[in-house]
Chain A
Amino acid sequence: MIDSIFVEREVLDHPVAQEICKRLKHADIFEIERYQEMFNRRKQNFRIQKQNPALILAKKHDNFVLPAPSGFGIDAQKNYYFSHMYNCIYDCRYCFLQGMYSSANYVLFVNYEDFFKAISDTIFENNNKSMTFFSGYDCDSLAFEKITGFAEKALEFFTNFSSVELELRTKSIVSDTLLNRSPISNCVVAYSLAPSNVAAILDNKAPSIDRRINVLQKLAKNGWSVGLRFDPLIYCSGWEKLYSELIHKIFNDINIEQVHSVSHGPLRYPKEMYKKITSLYPDDKLFSFPMEAKDGIVSYGKEIEEEMSSFLQFELEKYTTRNKIFRCLV
């Protein structure tokens, strides 16, 4: 687990920082000025760092809430995301965070109150518009919950804003925060899913697909709205059968009423990001695929993307209605 915590001097006395240091009582604590002096350093080696990341507790000063990239959202008029944390305890080989940050250390912004203030300001500014707030864009929303307690606070907060939606995107099976309380109608717990043997190869350190499906079915039974996210779609021999079996397995034992939305999206990277990630893992078969680079984006290419997308659409429509299915194109 985490053996070192670097704390910005400014948040040493913040109750969240103190609580986290108490929870991680075996970790050594080091004082720093600003998280950037450590996190944004040049010449860091993400791959080596990932073997033993440190936790950095920091204060976020601005950009608490940002518009979600187009193609990311489901069907709300306005989509926003917020990132209380950078980086993730899992190590999915395709994860874009590896190409986005030069450090694998976890940064947690402890001034949760400022996030909630910014979210409520955004809600008031967009009066009467349907809105979704996405958590877990730069991390996994629930994987670190036992340490951060952020999702629990976010749920409390969003109970006061029943007209806007919160999406918690996750691969985590740490569901106590959700199962120990009554569901809130405007929260979607969205699970990232892939065929079992694909996930077993690529979703390093993340819970197996069977365990994810178990938890999401349990959440649905307990009245939570769940989202199914087949994103990114991974190409390999026999992918049709693998995805078809996965979809069947999920829908076989779930109350369809509780399925808020289903989305699928292709594997895509900005060119520079792809270059960086592949240089970290040059031997990985995921990256030896002859990808197509077009207009600054690296992908499987239009043909494969279309084929996979249409197939998913067809398979999903066997179990749910078209208006619940979305294609994401970030």
Chain B
Amino acid sequence: MIELPDIRDVDLKICWVIALEPEAKPLIDLFDLHPLSNNLNFPVYINPKSGHALVISGIGSSKAAAAATYLKMLFNVQRYVAWINIGIAGFCEEPIGQLFQAIKVHDTARKTSYFPGFRLSKIVKCQTLHTVAQPETKYSEAVLFDMEASGFCEIASMFSCNELVFVLKIVSDTPKSPVSLVSREAITQLIYQNKNKLRGIISRIEKLVNDEKKRLHVPEEVYQYFERYHFTQSNRYRFLQAYKKWKSAFPDGKLARTLAAGNSASELISNLESELFLAVKDWKLK
């Protein structure tokens, strides 16, 4: 088990929200996740090295939302992190074991739709998913059926952005092979059999996460100035904006040198801006 005090420093990339333990098991194996503690409201697993965390929510849309929130609070999950809900689903046709990305999630009770995730259509088939309150046995429409995704989508996109919230579903039951026949072992097996595809999907998602992390990154050197000088809220923003421009214009520039003469927030901002103004005459676009 991992000691609790360290967990808020974990640099996460992907948060998994899974309804059932048999669905989670293959992912726990695949990403070498370890249980965090026995005393949590929801079982949580983590691999701090690879940056994956997983929570088991139980069945139902509100539980999925609650578990996602729990994970977010537990690790103070950052905006650039991707959220994935993966699990089994009913579908109107075979084959059992087919993996889909749900790109439209419709909550049948609340009559609301979500359009989660950057579409990974080059590596996985896309489909509409209906989140229902009771297991679907009639397969009345040509869509996937689950019981969690809508709650997950609603909450997870608040923690990150819509494009980094993914719903992946594996067909477990169809009119020919009803849900009552799906065993715990079968569920685990269905996820295992998609592991290669999942690896491809994860590596694409990690690329998006890394790009987003880079876009939102505020370097440590900026915080040092925030600590050393008094910044009002608006000066903080101005400093950050000026810094970003300065860094982009002079990637090899030394901040300490540029700001050596500054003694207040506004002087620091104006030092950054002056250096930019001096470069205008010879401005390059690249």
Contact = CB atoms under 8 A, between A and B. Distances in A.
Nearest to B214: A283
A148 B160 CA distance: 34
A37 B113 contact: yes
B49 interface: no
Interface in A248-275: none
B212 A48 contact: yes
Nearest to A54: B119
Contacts of B104: 6, 30, 32
B285 A234 contact: yes
Given A32-B113, A282-B215, A286-B285, A43 B162 contact: yes
A52 B161 contact: no
Interface string B252-286: 00000000000000000000010011001111111
B213 interface: no
A202 B280 CA distance: 18
Could you say which of B162, B276, B281, B284 has the most chain A C-beta atoms within 10 Å of its C-beta?
B162
B158 A43 contact: yes
B31 interface: no
Interface string A27-54: 0101111000110010111011101101
A98 B244 CA distance: 19
Contacts, number: 101
Contacts of A319: none
Nearest to B112: A37
Contacts of A43: 157-158, 161-162
Contacts of A283: 215, 244, 248
Contact of B273 (A51, A236, A290): A290
A45 B163 contact: yes
Nearest to B286: A201
Contacts of A317: none
A52 B121 contact: yes
Contacts of A201: 285-286
B244 A288 contact: yes
A288 B158 contact: no
Could you say which of B103, B104, B241, B248 has the most chain A C-beta atoms within 10 Å of its C-beta?
B248
Main secondary structure of the interface of B (DSSP, over half): helix
A283 B280 CA distance: 17
Contacts of A198: 285
A236 to B, nearest CB: 5
A202 B284 CA distance: 12
Contact of A44 (B103, B121, B162, B244): B162
Contact of A45 (B122, B162, B280, B285): B162
B212 A236 contact: no
Contacts of B195: none
Contacts of B119: 3-4, 52, 54
A235 interface: yes
Contact of A51 (B118, B241, B245): B118
Interface in B101-143: 103-104, 113, 115, 118-119, 121-122, 125-126, 128
Given A30-B104, A236-B283, A285 B249 contact: yes
B84 interface: no
A41 B284 contact: no
Contacts of A48: 118, 161, 163-164, 208, 211-212
B161 A3 contact: no
A275 to B, nearest CB: 9
Could you say which of A33, A52, A201 has the most chain B C-beta atoms within 10 Å of its C-beta?
A52
A30 B103 contact: yes
B192 interface: no
A287 B244 CA distance: 10
Given A3-B121, A4-B103, A290-B276, A237 B282 contact: yes
B126 A28 contact: yes
B163 A285 contact: no
Contact of B248 (A3, A51, A288): A288
Contact of B118 (A41, A49, A288): A49
A14 to B, nearest CB: 20
Could you say which of A41, A51, A278, A288 has the most chain B C-beta atoms within 10 Å of its C-beta?
A288
Nearest to B127: A28
17 contacts: A3-B121, A3-B122, A3-B126, A6-B115, A30-B104, A30-B128, A31-B128, A41-B115, A45-B118, A48-B163, A49-B118, A236-B284, A237-B282, A287-B245, A288-B244, A288-B245, A290-B277
Interface of B: 103-104, 113, 115, 118-119, 121-122, 125-126, 128, 157-158, 161-164, 208, 211-212, 215, 241, 244-249, 273, 276-277, 280-286
Interface of A: 3-4, 6, 28, 30-33, 37-38, 41, 43-45, 47-49, 51-52, 54, 198, 201-202, 234-237, 278, 280, 282-290
